[in-house]
């Protein structure tokens, strides 16, 4: 494992941190040195935070797949790059060495070329968690096409929004996918989406379930037919450091999801550096990140980070509870997993089952545990630490975001402090600050405020696709000179950060981000709906649940069956507009919403009611119709 820029002790962490903040350009130039560059950079960092312009390694030329694959062939050609564990434990797993993965990526890259994909083209990928997904992503990067992976749980409408926003010309998909006991006809969802996507001229379909699918003449082709006789070598396209590598859509507090853009060199350096240091990766590790490649965690810590480091990354197609709640632990024993990275929601859902599902496995191979996506509550932390890590594995609670490219605040396993309910200390290169509402910095420890970042880092979001002003407004304008995270945080008495949660209208359901406006827009498509307001509420397993207040045109129906019929219809609309993952936990039909005289919905009141805390609703005198609050309280779900 590359020892380069590797932090091995607390002293080394402090030293690296000091250098990364005092002389960041020198620090990152040293970290970047050993990668494969076709040409080195002219300057390391060019940052104008107020404008949201951040360039890293300007002038450098490279291809990230040469760094993920070619670079390792002489020393790790026969090492496993990807271990694939299928949904069904009785189906055969698959292993790909670095050499095999290199060949498969080249082959897919040639297929893309043969289908007219060129550097800079946008390719949307809607595929199951199978090796072909990893191969497809890397094949895009190989030829300089910009990949945009869409989580394969999103609906046809959600796919169409993303494909159209990116103006993608090609879509990569499969015939179907397995998710636990369910099988989903993925290609059919894509077909429906593409009815409203005029930019797409080619769909390349990977056979996975062997299902018959409709192939549209002139548009759709099978991958296995296209790949026949195609060369297993493909020269890597030479990219500029700031050429976009991928777009990944994520929800914000306003409007439709934004296409977060990451570029090539900075993202690469950040992914590799954070991966090796946070998890303290060793050459023989079998590393397993349970995230789907459809989310940023899958991009950085299932795919790019591990491959850049030359590690072995396990890819799991299934779900934690199929065929039993012992599935994760079974996989860990089966493949001797040493580093395990998952989400608090998965831990909480498994905690709820009989502990014998855990005790049936040894879990002896484990060395490091990770958590990501939402705050991990103390109870889940202790369960994870005691029952999974057997009190010998450090837990890294990694705080970061789609926009940050990689981990920002976290323990480095076994090196910096790992305390329950604390993400911990910032990584080298990360300068977190707590801000007051007026944008002034809050000094000292034992303080709480808005979390912002003061200095550019290599993985920082570059823009939102096709609309830089949106990126500037969202992240850089709220507090000029800082990147604004949208999270609130506390710096404890020892300077460790504790993430409190979103301070904007974003809710985090099982580690997935949704804008309340995004869900409201979906609900409002339903003909039974006049207006809606969505808030989050604490949920034992999901972290936050979705609570929707909905006004119907004829008021609240008297009959329970009628109310149920409307609620079911609203759920159907949300599933069609966004996907099953955005299904509200509770829908309350109401005759009005608490609004101020100027027409603004008082979400604070709705949140309180959803939380079940109706004793102290604060000042309601400014409401247009205070009686509406009583009705909402009495009809609370
Ligand atoms: O609120 C924070 C929460 O998830 C948000 C970022 O979501 P997303 O872009 O989907 O990325 C998730 C995976 C990196 C953050 O603004 N969040 C993420 N990790 C943590 C967290 N909250 C607390 N602790 C964490 N470890």
Ligand 1 in reach of 401 Cβ (< 6 A): yes
How far apart are alpha carbons 521 and 516 in whole angstroms? 9
Q: What is the pLDDT of residues 483-535, one digit of tens each?
A: 999 999 999 999 999 999 999 999 999 999 999 999 999 999 999 999 999 99
pLDDT digits (tens, 9 = 90+) for 248-285: 999 988 778 999 999 999 999 999 999 999 999 999 99
**Closest C-alpha to 306, from 276, 333, 270, 284:** 276
Which pLDDT belongs to residue 255? 74
Reduced to 3 states, what is the DSSP secondary structure of residue 634? helix
What DSSP character marks residue 133?
Answer: H
Show Cβ contacts of residue 178 under 8 Å, excluding neighbours closer than 6 positions. Answer: 86, 87, 88, 128, 184, 209, 317, 318
DSSP 240: E
Cβ proximity of 89 and 335 under 8 Å: no
CA of 502 to the centre of ligand 1 (A): 9
Q: Assess whether pLDDT exceeds 80 at residue 561.
A: yes
3-state secondary structure of 615: coil
What is the whole-number distance in angstroms between the Cα of residue 499 and the centre of ligand 1?
9
Mean pLDDT, rounded, for 523-549: 95
| Tokens 């000179």 belong to residue | 481
Quick check: pTM over 0.90?
A: yes
Q: Tell me what pLDDT residue 265 has.
A: 98
Question: Cβ neighbours of residue 101 under 8 Å, at least 6 residues apart?
Answer: 69, 81, 82, 134, 135, 138, 307
Block residue for tokens 């992503």: 137
| Structural domains of the chain, with CATH | 507-634 (3.30.300.30)
pLDDT above 70: residue 180: yes
* CA-proximal residue: ligand 1, atom 18 (nearest): 373
Which pair of tokens denotes residue 588? 């309350």
Total count of residues recorded for the chain: 637
Q: Hey, which of 302, 373, 490 would you mutate to test ligand 1's pocket, going by the most ligand atoms within 8 Å of its Cβ?
A: 373
pLDDT of residue 176: 96
- Over the stretch 193-252, which tens digit does the pLDDT of each residue have? 999 999 999 999 999 999 999 999 999 999 999 999 999 999 999 999 999 999 999 998
**Is residue 487 lining ligand 1, measured as CB closer than 6 Å?**
yes
What's the pLDDT at 93? 86
Q: Which atom of ligand 1 is nearest to the CA of 371?
A: 26
250 CB near ligand 1 (under 6 Å): yes
Find out whether 175 and 207 touch, Cβ atoms under 8 Å. Answer: yes
Q: Kindly report the number of other CB atoms within 10 A of residue 607's CB atom.
A: 15
**CA of 402 relative to ligand 1 center, distance in Å:** 8
pLDDT tops 80 at residue 2: no
CA angle 561, 564, 566 (to 5 degrees): 115
Report the C-alpha gap between 241 and 39 in whole angstroms.
10
Alpha carbons within 13 A on the beta-carbon side of 102:
24
Atom 21 of ligand 1, residue of closest alpha carbon: 374
Going from the Cα of 19 to the center of ligand 1, the distance in angstroms, rounded, reads: 27
Chain segment 51-63, per-residue pLDDT in tens: 999 999 999 999 9
1 — pLDDT class (breaks 50, 70, 90)? low
Residue 597 confidence class, pLDDT cut points 50, 70, 90: confident
Mean pLDDT value across the chain: 96
- pLDDT score, position 306: 98
Q: Give the model confidence (pLDDT) of 84-111 as tens digits.
A: 999 999 998 899 999 999 999 999 999 9
Mean of the pLDDT values across residues 103-128?
98
Please, are residues 500 and 487 in contact by the beta-carbon 8 Å criterion?
yes
Summarize pLDDT for 137-149 with one digit per residue, the tens: 999 999 999 999 9
Query: Which residues, 6+ apart, have CB-to-CB distance to 109 below 8 Å?
Result: 139, 140, 142, 143, 234
Share of the chain above pLDDT 70, in %: 100
Atom of ligand 1 nearest to the CA of 499: 23
- Phi, psi (5° rounding) for residue 74? -70, -30
Which residues, in sequence order, are bridge partners of residue 554? none
Q: Are 278 and 339 in contact (CB under 8 A)?
A: no
φ and ψ of 118, to 5 deg: -125, 165
Predicted local distance difference test score (pLDDT) of residue 626: 82
Give SS3 for 86.
Answer: coil
Residue 300 Cα to ligand 1 middle (Å): 14
Query: Strand (E) positions, 59-134?
Result: 61-62, 80-85, 94-97, 122-126
443 backbone dihedrals φ, ψ, rounded to 5°: -85, 160
Q: Please tell me the distance from the alpha carbon of residue 203 to that of residue 223, in angstroms, as a whole number.
A: 9
Q: Ligand 1 mean position to 619 CA, how many Å? A: 32
Look up the ipTM and state it. 0.99
Pocket test for ligand 1, best of 343, 396, 511, 544 (most atoms within 8 A of CB): 511
Question: Does any ligand 1 atom lie closer than 6 A to the CB of residue 544?
Answer: no
Q: Is 274 in the pocket of ligand 1 (CB under 6 A)?
A: no
Ligand 1 centroid to 561 CA: how many Å?
A: 39
The model's pLDDT over 393-422, given as tens digits with 9 standing for 90+, comes to 999 999 999 999 999 999 999 999 999 999
- Ligand 1 centroid, distance to 277 Cα (angstroms): 19
pLDDT of 616 = 82
400 C-beta closer than 6 A to ligand 1: yes
Does ligand 1 lie within 6 Å of residue 169's CB atom? no
Per-residue confidence (pLDDT) for residue 614, from 0 to 100: 87
Task: Please give the number of the atom of ligand 1 that sits closest to the Cα of 506.
Answer: 1
User: Which pLDDT belongs to residue 637?
Assistant: 86
The helix or strand, by DSSP H or E, that contains position 399, with its residue range, turns out to be none
Number of separate helices (H) and strands (E) present in the chain: 21, 30
């Amino acid at each position: 494992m590359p020892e380069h820029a590797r932090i091995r002790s607390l002293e080394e962490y402090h030293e690296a941190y000091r250098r990364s903040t005092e002389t960041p350009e020198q620090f990152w130039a040293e970290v970047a040195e050993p990668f494969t560059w076709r040409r080195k950079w002219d300057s390391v960092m060019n940052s104008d935070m107020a404008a949201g312009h951040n360039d890293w390694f300007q002038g450098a030329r490279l291809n990230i797949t040469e760094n993920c694959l070619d670079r390792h062939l002489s020393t790790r050609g026969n090492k496993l790059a990807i271990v694939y564990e299928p949904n069904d434990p009785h189906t055969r797993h698959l292993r790909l060495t670095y050499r095999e993965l290199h060949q498969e990526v080249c082959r897919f890259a040639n297929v893309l070329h043969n289908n007219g994909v060129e550097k800079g083209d946008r390719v949307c990928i809607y595929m199951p968690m199978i090796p072909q997904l990893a191969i497809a992503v890397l094949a895009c990067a190989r030829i300089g096409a910009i990949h945009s992976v869409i989580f394969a749980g999103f609906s046809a409408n959600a796919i169409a929004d993303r494909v159209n926003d990116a103006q993608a010309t090609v879509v990569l998909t499969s015939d179907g996918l397995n998710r636990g006991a369910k099988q989903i006809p993925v290609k059919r969802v894509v077909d429906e989406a593409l009815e409203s996507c005029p930019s797409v001229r080619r769909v390349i379909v990977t056979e996975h379930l062997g299902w018959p699918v409709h192939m549209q003449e002139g548009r759709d082709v099978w991958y296995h037919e296209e790949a026949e006789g195609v060369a297993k070598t493909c020269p890597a396209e030479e990219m500029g450091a700031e050429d976009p590598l991928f777009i990944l859509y994520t929800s914000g507090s306003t409007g439709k999801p934004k296409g977060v853009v990451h570029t090539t060199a900075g993202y690469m350096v950040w992914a590799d550096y954070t991966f090796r240091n946070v998890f303290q990766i060793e050459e023989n590790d079998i590393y397993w990140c349970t995230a789907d490649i459809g989310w940023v965690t899958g991009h950085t810590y299932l795919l790019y980070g591990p491959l850049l480091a030359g590690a072995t990354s396990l890819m799991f197609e299934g779900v934690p509870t199929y065929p039993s709640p012992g599935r994760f632990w079974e996989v860990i024993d089966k493949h001797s997993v040493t580093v395990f990275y998952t989400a608090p929601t998965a831990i909480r859902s498994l905690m709820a089952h009989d502990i014998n599902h855990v005790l049936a496995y040894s879990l002896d191979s484990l060395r490091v545990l990770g958590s990501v996506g939402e705050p991990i509550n103390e109870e889940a932390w202790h369960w994870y630490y005691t029952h999974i890590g057997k009190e010998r594995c450090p837990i890294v609670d990694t705080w970061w975001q789609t926009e940050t490219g990689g981990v920002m605040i976290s323990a480095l396993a076994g090196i910096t402090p790992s305390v329950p309910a604390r993400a911990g200390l910032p990584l080298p290169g990360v300068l977190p600050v707590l801000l007051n509402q007026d944008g002034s910095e809050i000094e000292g420890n034992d303080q709480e405020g808005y979390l912002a970042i003061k200095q550019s880092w290599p993985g920082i979001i570059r823009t939102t696709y096709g609309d830089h002003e949106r990126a500037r407004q969202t992240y850089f304008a709220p507090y000029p000179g800082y990147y604004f995270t949208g999270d609130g945080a506390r710096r404890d008495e020892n300077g460790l950060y504790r993430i409190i949660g979103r301070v904007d209208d974003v809710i985090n359901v099982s580690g997935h981000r949704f804008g309340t406006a995004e869900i409201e827009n979906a609900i409002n498509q339903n003909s039974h709906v006049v207006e809606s307001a969505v808030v989050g509420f604490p949920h034992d397993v999901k972290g936050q649940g979705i609570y929707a207040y909905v006004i119907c045109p004829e008021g609240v129906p008297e009959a329970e069956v009628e109310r149920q019929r409307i609620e079911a219809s609203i759920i159907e609309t949300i599933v069609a507009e966004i996907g099953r993952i955005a299904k509200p936990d509770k829908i309350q039909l109401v005759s009005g919403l608490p609004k101020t005289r100027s027409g603004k919905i008082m979400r604070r009141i709705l949140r309180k009611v959803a939380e079940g805390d109706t004793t102290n609703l604060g000042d309601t005198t400014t409401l247009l119709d205070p009686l509406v609050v009583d009705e909402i309280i009495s009809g609370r779900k």
